[in-house]
C-alpha cells in the first residue's frame, strides 16, 4: 500500500477541488465495483455486493479533500494574502511551502511587527510567490493552493501532507480490493463513499448518506494522538493499532457499534485502542443525523501533527486498520433496530 499512499497524498485536492484525486481513486476502484457514480457534489460512490437476508445497507466514508488556502488579496508589492480552506493553523504555516492548482509555488511568511515572541494570526501571514506587483503575480483572488511536502518514511512511520484523509481513502480502497479479489463473502450491500468537502463542514458525507439511506455508517479517518511531549491528554498512540471512536467533538458513536467493532478486533486478534477526541469530528457526524438517523461508528488511524504539512502515521496501524475493516465487513452486525 505504500506506493498508493505516496501517490494519493501527493495529488492536490483541497475542499471543493477534488477532481484530480477523485479521478485517481476511481481508476483504482472501478475494476472492483458493481456500480460507480459521481454525484452533483463530486462524491465518488462505489457499490459492492448484495444485501443478504441478515445483511445491512452499509455506508463507509473517507474524505477526498485536504486542507488548503485560498487567495483573498494581492497587495501592491505582489504578496498574496489568504484564508484557510478547513482548519489551517498559523503555527504550521510559517516557513511552509504551498503549491497553487495553476502550478505556482510560494513560501509563507508573516508581518514582523509583533516580533517572534507571539504566534501571528492567519490574517498576518502572506505568501511570497516571487512577484513584485499584482501585474506580474501569477496568482489572483480565488486561486487555491495546498501545502507542498514530499513523502518520507522514517522507519515504520510515514510522513507527508494530506494523510488526513488520504490514509482513510487508501484503507477503503484496499478493503474493497481484498473483498473483491479474494472473493470474500459479505452479507451486506456496501457503499464505499469517497466524500468531498469534509474539511469545510462534512458536506459530501451528508448528501451521500441522504442518497444511500444506509442502515449503518462507518467513517474511516485519522485521529490525534497523545504520545508526543506535552501533547494532547488522550489514550491513542502510534503503533498500537487502529482506534475505535467512542466520542469526538461532534458525535457519540452508537455503543452497540463500538462493542461490535471491539469484539471483532478481539476475535481476529487485531490490536486496537479506544478513542475519545475532545475536538473535531468526522463524516460519521453527518451520516448519523441524516434522514431519521443512522447508527454510526468510526475507525480511526492514529496520526501525529494533524492538519500540518507533515502528518505522520505508523504503517502497521494502517495494515491493521485494513484487517479490521475487512473483518467487520465480512461479518454480520448485531441487531441495531429499536431499543437495546
What are the sequence ranges of the domains in the chain?
A: 2-66+161-330, 68-147
Condensed to tens digits (0 to 9), the pLDDT of residues 48-66 reads: 999 988 899 999 999 999 9
CA angle 38, 43, 46 (to 5 degrees): 65
- Does residue 198 carry a catalytic annotation? yes
- In DSSP terms, 263 is beta-bridged to none
Confidence of residue 157 (pLDDT cuts 50, 70, 90): very high
Taking the domain 68-147, which CATH number applies?
2.40.30.40
pLDDT of residue 231: 84
- In DSSP terms, 44 is beta-bridged to 38, 194
CATH architecture classification, 2-66+161-330: 3-Layer(aba) Sandwich (3.40)
- DSSP letter, residue 126: E
Question: Which SS3 state, helix, strand or coil, does residue 19 take?
Answer: helix
Q: What is the rounded distance in angstroms from the CA atom of residue 241 to the CA atom of residue 111? A: 42
Longest dimension (CA), the chain: 68
Other Cβ atoms less than 10 A from the Cβ of 222: the count is 24
Report residue 98: phi and psi, to 5°: -130, 155
Phi-psi region of 134 (alpha: psi -120 to 50; beta: other; left: phi over 0): alpha
Q: What is the rounded distance in angstroms from the CA atom of residue 330 to the CA atom of residue 326? A: 6
Q: What is the rounded distance in angstroms from the CA atom of residue 88 to the CA atom of residue 211? A: 30
Q: Which listed residue (18, 189, 198, 199) is catalytic?
A: 198
Condensed to tens digits (0 to 9), the pLDDT of residues 218-260 reads: 999 999 999 999 888 899 999 999 999 999 999 999 999 999 9
Q: How far is CA 25 from CA 45, 55, 60, 64, 210, in A?
A: 11, 27, 15, 9, 22
Question: Which SS3 state, helix, strand or coil, does residue 188 take?
Answer: coil
Equal CATH topology for 2-66+161-330 and 68-147: no
Given a contact cutoff of 8 angstroms between Cβ atoms, the answer to whether 300 and 275 are in contact is: yes
High-pLDDT (> 90) share of the chain, %: 89
Residue 339: pLDDT over 70: no
Other Cβ atoms less than 10 A from the Cβ of 332: the count is 13
Q: What is the rounded distance in angstroms from the CA atom of residue 211 to the CA atom of residue 183? A: 27
pTM for the model: 0.95
Mean pLDDT, residues 6-12: 97
Mean pLDDT, residues 288-292: 96
Q: What is the rounded distance in angstroms from the CA atom of residue 212 to the CA atom of residue 39? A: 11
Amino acid at each position: 500500500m505504500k506506493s498508493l499512499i505516496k501517490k494519493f497524498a501527493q495529488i492536490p485536492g483541497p475542499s471543493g477541488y477534488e477532481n484530480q484525486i477523485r479521478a485517481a481513486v476511481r481508476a483504482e476502484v472501478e475494476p472492483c465495483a458493481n456500480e460507480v457514480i459521481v454525484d452533483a457534489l463530486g462524491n465518488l460512490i462505489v457499490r459492492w455486493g448484495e444485501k443478504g437476508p441478515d445483511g445491512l445497507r452499509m455506508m463507509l466514508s473517507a474524505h477526498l479533500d485536504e486542507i488548503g488556502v485560498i487567495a483573498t488579496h494581492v497587495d501592491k508589492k505582489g504578496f498574496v494574502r489568504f484564508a484557510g480552506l478547513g482548519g489551517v493553523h498559523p503555527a504550521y504555516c510559517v516557513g511552509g511551502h504551498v503549491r497553487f492548482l495553476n502550478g505556482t509555488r510560494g513560501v509563507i511568511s508573516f508581518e514582523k511587527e509583533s516580533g517572534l515572541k507571539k504566534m501571528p494570526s492567519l490574517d498576518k501571514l502572506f505568501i511570497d510567490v516571487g512577484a513584485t506587483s499584482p501585474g506580474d503575480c501569477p496568482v489572483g483572488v480565488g486561486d487555491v493552493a495546498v501545502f507542498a511536502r514530499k513523502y518520507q518514511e522514517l522507519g515504520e512511520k510515514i510522513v507527508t501532507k494530506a494523510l488526513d484523509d488520504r490514509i482513510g481513502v487508501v484503507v477503503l480502497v484496499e478493503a474493497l480490493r481484498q473483498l473483491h479479489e479474494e472473493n470474500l463473502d459479505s452479507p451486506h450491500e456496501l457503499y464505499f463513499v469517497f466524500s468531498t468537502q469534509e474539511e469545510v463542514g462534512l458536506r459530501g458525507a451528508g448528501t451521500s448518506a441522504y442518497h444511500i439511506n444506509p442502515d449503518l455508517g462507518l467513517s474511516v479517518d485519522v485521529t490525534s494522538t497523545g504520545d508526543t511531549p506535552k501533547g494532547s491528554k488522550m489514550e491513542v498512540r502510534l503503533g498500537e493499532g487502529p482506534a475505535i471512536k467512542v466520542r469526538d467533538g461532534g458525535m457519540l458513536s452508537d455503543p452497540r457499534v463500538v462493542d461490535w467493532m471491539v469484539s471483532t478486533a478481539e476475535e481476529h486478534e487485531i490490536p486496537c485502542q479506544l478513542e475519545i477526541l475532545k475536538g473535531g469530528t468526522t463524516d460519521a457526524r453527518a451520516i448519523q443525523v441524516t434522514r431519521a438517523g443512522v447508527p454510526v461508528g468510526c475507525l480511526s488511524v492514529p496520526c501525529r501533527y494533524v492538519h500540518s504539512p507533515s502528518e505522520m502515521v505508523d504503517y502497521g496501524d494502517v495494515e491493521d486498520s485494513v484487517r479490521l475493516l475487512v473483518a467487520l465487513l465480512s461479518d454480520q452486525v448485531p441487531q441495531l433496530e429499536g431499543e437495546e
